[in-house]
Structure 1
Amino acid sequence: MIRLVLADDQVLLRQGLRMILEAADDMDVVGEADDGAGAVALAVEQGPDVILMDVRMPEVDGLEATSRIRALMPDGPRILILTTFDLDEYVYASLRAGASGFLLKDTLTADLLSGIRAVARGDAIVAPQVTRRLIERHIGSAGDPLPRSESDLRELTEREREVLGLVARGLSNAEIAGRLFLAEGTVKGHVSRILAKLDLRDRVQAVILAYECGLVRPG
């Protein structure tokens, strides 16, 4: 069973999510919080596998809550940000704080469930069209220097750099395999080595690093 905590200040949204999630045979909601402080407390008390975290909440928002949970529990629950995107300006910062990805609040039920399962098994959820817009907003804007340089990628082979660039553009392993004429298992191996060499937790951090280093550019 995937044990979940819901953190959102909208009661109706939490109720709707609980109904959807508990209808799945492999999911169990073990707690609800209406702000970030409550989410942190439940993370410590319940030790869930995944926390569905809203960004904008009173007192302690999702960004701060994510940062606190990662500090208290580095190997603790995976955090999946739920956002309305156009209103939430802190999603990119949340990913840097340690979230494993994000989904839009109007995502289809099947995509939500598959996303939670992916995050629970250690993968990351990166919505390509949203990633591009967030990166454009937060990285490499005029007069804003990139925090990393391409030299940070020096340990990667040419093939690994090519794979990382495609990961940063939001392609799945299967799509990368088709693009590069490789077996999907080979691509998975490349991704694993990239994460290990760069000391990254998941694909989300890989996307961020690729943009920060200038391997791929916004737009």
Structure 2
Amino acid sequence: IDPKKMRVLIVDDEEVAAEHARIVLDEAGIKADICLDGRSALKMLEVQYTKHEPYNLVLLDWKMPEMDGIECAEEIRKLFRKETTIIILTSFNWDEIMDKAMHIGVDSFLAKPLFASDVISEFERIARKNNMLMLRERKRADLNGKHILLAEDVFINAEIMKELLKIKGMITDHAENGKIAVEMFSESQIGYYDAVLMDVRMPEMDGLEATAEIRSLGRPDAEKVPIIAMTANAFDEDVQLSLQVGMNAHLSKPVEAERLYHTLEELIWDAEQTNLHLRGYNNAEK
């Protein structure tokens, strides 16, 4: 496993211990973020998941106020994919919590203080044991011929996006604001659009409102179509809001071509596996 591909979240209420762990991992080339309590950890996991950059590994301190490591691990397992590895950190004897921790889905335990070599070897052991998908590439759709609805009010931005989409053979319909995007989606055949790229800040109706409108249309494709937020304001609150209205991912402007393609390929693949074969449904309607 390449340490540079690992994304780690360290959760410890003792700031000095958390910072020490981050430095130790950083020296080994592992990118790590820190937070000081379980609730913040869940928010950070949600944000990264929405940005399509999920944490591969969460290192959780056992003894924390309000929400301890075991309770936090239980919430993580309820909310996020099995691919996120959870390791409990403790300077105590973990025998008393081992059974409960394993039952709720904790993968392993490590003693404090932390050593990068221990983290890497334990992570590799768990990955082998679980035959993990975590660092394998997710399956992706072929973008050629896919229909994309692009909601973007700035003309030059829309032209750039259309060119980027055209490179991969995608067919783009452009809506100048959220209101027009909702109308275009409503008037399209069921299953016509493979994904929606939605600028967040637009006149008439912003991207958040437009997404909520599309999701509430009552059509089977309106529930399943991937909707991707695009905004120059990539603050965590924006990501949280986009998630709440039913967006699937979040891209920061200016949009990087490879990240755009990667996100579309993964989300369209996922949608194709879970949808109702909508084009067939549409033909049956005729």
TM-score, normalized by length of structure 1?
0.51
1:19 aligned residue: 163
1:75 Cα deviation after fit: 3.4
Say which of 165, 180, 199 aligns to 1:38. Answer: 180
CA deviation profile, 1:90-133 (whole Å, cap 9, x unmatched): 4422211111111112232112111111111227xxxxxxxxxx
SS at match of 2:186: helix
Sort the Cα spacing of 1:62 and 1:74 in 2 relative to 1 into closer, same or farther, 3 A.
farther
Query: Contact 1:81 / 1:103 at 8 angstroms: preserved in 2?
Result: yes
Query: Which letter maps to 2:257?
Result: T
1:101 aligned residue: 249
CA deviation profile, 1:4-55 (whole Å, cap 9, x unmatched): 0110110100011101101113x211x1111111110111223311110000
1:28 aligns with 2:171: yes
SS at match of 1:80: strand
Query: Contact 2:234 / 2:252 at 8 angstroms: preserved in 1?
Result: no
- The 5-angstrom pairing of residues 179-198 of structure 1 reads none
Structure whose alpha-carbon radius of gyration is higher:
2
- The 5-angstrom pairing of residues 1-219 of structure 1 reads 1-25=145-169, 27-29=170-172, 31-46=173-188, 47-72=192-217, 73=219, 75-76=221-222, 77-86=225-234, 90-122=238-270
C-alpha distance in 1, partners of 2:266/2:228? 10
What root-mean-square deviation, in Å, do the aligned CA atoms of Structure 1 and Structure 2 show? 1.9
| Gaps in structure 2 of 5+ consecutive residues | 1-144, 272-286
SS at match of 1:44: helix
C-alpha distance in 2, partners of 1:74/1:66? 15
Higher percent of residues as strand: 2
Query: Which letter maps to 2:221?
Result: D
SS at match of 1:57: coil
CA deviation profile, 1:58-107 (whole Å, cap 9, x unmatched): 12110110000000035322100111125795442221111111111223
* Ranges of 4+ aligned residues in structure 1 off by more than 3 Å: 86-91
Sort the Cα spacing of 1:28 and 1:88 in 2 relative to 1 into closer, same or farther, 3 A.
farther
Query: Which letter maps to 2:164?
Result: I
C-alpha distance in 1, partners of 2:237/2:153? 17
Sort the Cα spacing of 1:17 and 1:88 in 2 relative to 1 into closer, same or farther, 3 A.
farther
C-alpha distance in 2, partners of 1:17/1:86? 18
The total of aligned residue pairs comes to 121
2:96 aligned residue: none
Sort the Cα spacing of 1:109 and 1:37 in 2 relative to 1 into closer, same or farther, 3 A.
same
